[in-house]
Amino acid sequence: MQQFPCPFCGPRAEGEFRYAGDAGVKRPARDCSDQEWAQYLYMRRNAKGAARELWIHTGGCGRWFALARDTVTHVVNGSEPIG
């Protein structure tokens, strides 16, 4: 099993974490159009290669962080706290 680096707890087994989406997606304003809201909910780049993703350490500290990962090779290139 792959190890993920939680920025708060250190390296832990991948199974302790839950993926939560692309870290580059920004929630639109409350008065946005239906089209903008649909874009936010459903449209993703899903690009190959380097990605910055949101993860939560559900089996540990329960905190959110951004993980830099290659979606093709699954090589992890670091993590950082968010918020």
Tell me the closest approach of the beta carbon of residue 9 to Zn ion, in angstroms: 3
68 lines the binding site for Zn ion (CB under 5 A): no
- Scanning 20-28, 34-42, 52-60, 71-79 for contacts with Zn ion by CB under 5 A, the matching segment is 52-60
Tell me the closest approach of the beta carbon of residue 68 to Zn ion, in angstroms: 16
8 lines the binding site for Zn ion (CB under 5 A): yes
The only residue of 57, 67, 69, 79 in contact with Zn ion, by rule CB under 5 A: 57
Query: Is the C-alpha dihedral spanning 4, 78, 24, 64 positive or negative?
Result: positive
67 lines the binding site for Zn ion (CB under 5 A): no
